[in-house]
Amino acid sequence: MTRKSNSIRTVAIVTASVFSGIVIGQVLPASAQVGEILKGAAIGVLVNQFGGQIDRFVNTLTGNKPDGLRETTRVVPILTVGEGAYVGAAQVSGPKNKVDVVKALARVEGSTRIGNELRATALIPISTARPGKLESLSRVKGVGVSAIIDYRLGL
């Protein structure tokens, strides 16, 4: 073989290696994102399809017997503020006229230093399934979180 064909072969191998690395480097994070999207979609479907059954299960588990007027319960998705991504589900409880307004819970996290580091996660009942920024949340006052629901995905 000539020197020129060896150089061409070397350039081709290096180019293929670099391209493969770029493709593989992009595919792995993309597959993780696809997994998160599927998880969020599964939670949304789960809450929409089986929310009533989940709600009755939680009420049985906790011995809660809402009267349907003064106190009622409902299962809603938990959304991450700013992203609007489904991250879970929870049961809310309160007066029927207020619980009926709740579309989701906004999950907000923060940390500060008081002595050592302190972290907090807040679940805020909101009247929209598309939260924006914390300042613009449509809070529903008078409604509380009575249960956090974990769902194991078989992925």
Q: What is the mean pLDDT of the chain?
A: 77
The SS3 call for residue 7 is helix
Kindly tell me if the per-residue pLDDT of 143 is higher than 80.
yes
> What pLDDT, in 10s, does the model give residues 2-44?
666 666 665 556 555 555 555 455 544 544 445 554 455 666 7
Hey, what are 140's tokens? 């529903």
pTM of the full predicted structure?
Answer: 0.67
For 56-83, the pLDDT digits (tens) are 999 999 999 988 778 999 999 998 776 5
C-beta of residue 119 within 8 angstroms of C-beta of residue 111: yes
| pLDDT value of residue 93 | 96
6/76 Cα distance (integer angstroms):
64
Q: Which two tokens stand for residue 72?
A: 């009622």
pLDDT per residue as tens digits for the range 93-121? 999 999 999 999 988 888 888 888 898 98
